[in-house]
Amino acid sequence: MSAQETLYQEIVDLVSSRCGRQLPVTSCKRVAIMVLGMLTSHSCIITRLAREVAALRLSPATADSVERRLRRTLNDHFLCPEIVYQPLLRQLVDWPGALRQAGQLVLAVDETSQEDRVHLFRISLTYQGRAIPLAWALWPQNAPLAPGRYWQAVDGALARAYSLLPKGCDVVVTADRAFDIPAFVDRITALGWQEAKARLERYWEWIVRQRSRPLGKPRPAKENLFTMGLSRCRELLYGGIGHLGQLLLQNLYAPSWSKTWYDTQSYQFI
């Protein structure tokens, strides 16, 4: 059995064991195929995934056949965040380790769009140099929203993110200036993320100081804490599954050569 075949089976077994009986084996296999396709193609474009998965020769299926299977994966009603993504996230993220390392959990709130097709609001956990999506909301780009619809989407994403975090932990929210408004800050404060507004204020005070700093004067090391940029995720396809693939591989109890095969690929999804 090749390294790719073994890794495929390990992902199937891990997803099956962590998600419980409500996820059929067929859906577990679809997740594994999608993850392997993203890892090998470094893309989330279906046609590219299909070519790479076919090249792995996990089955006699052609690239066209694999592409049809991947499209069925996107329409699999079992593969929803509540059944797959959220249970895996709760179990695979080292929450105590993340808290020990930084003393708090840092969330990144961001909005982006894919051309004129889709708009994404996303809340991510900054984790081991990556941004792991916790919750998101999608709507058509350049299309008017019904009154109140935007804040309904934001409230839903905040509630989902809140439900995933360990209770009682210190949370800091980072965002750009567009979110420094009472409507957003009040929502963060209501969740108990009390430092959000203070950090936003200190961040913009730092921006003012930087603009007034004489040229060539070095920056104090402590101010580098506020140079953290928002990570813009490349994947809009099946929100978060690229990072799910990384978490799955990081948590597999795989033979050393399987880990070596993954490490040599040097793939990033941020």
Is pLDDT at 104 greater than 90 in this prediction? no
Q: Please tell me the distance from the alpha carbon of residue 67 to that of residue 111, in angstroms, as a whole number.
A: 30
**Of 102-116, 151-165, 233-247, the least confident:** 233-247
What digits encode the pLDDT tens for the residues 70-97? 999 888 999 888 898 898 888 888 888 8
| Residue that has been written with the tokens 């309904």 in this structure | 152
Q: How far apart are CA 107 and CA 79, in angstroms?
A: 25
- Bridge pairing between strands 130-140 and 171-174: unpaired
The pLDDT value recorded for residue 67 is: 92
The CA distance from 147 to 156, in Å, is: 16
Question: What is residue 259's predicted lDDT score, i.e. its pLDDT?
Answer: 37
Cross-strand partners of 244: none
Between 171 and 237, whose confidence is greater? 171
CB of 193 closer than 8 Å to CB of 173: yes
> Token pair for residue 85?
């993504």
pLDDT tens by residue, 29-75:
999 998 888 888 888 889 998 998 998 888 888 999 999 999 998 88
Other beta carbons less than 10 A from residue 249's beta carbon: 21
- The answer to whether the beta carbons of residues 82 and 102 sit under 8 Å apart is no
Q: How confident is residue 233, by pLDDT bands cut at 50, 70 and 90? A: very low
Band of the pLDDT at 168, cuts 50, 70, 90?
confident
pTM for the whole structure: 0.69
Query: Rounded distance, CA 71 to CA 229, Å?
Result: 34
Tell whether the model's pLDDT for residue 235 goes beyond 60.
no
Say yes or no to pLDDT of 266 above 60. no
Identify whether the C-beta of residue 53 lies closer than 8 Å to the C-beta of residue 17: no
**How much is the pLDDT for 232?**
29
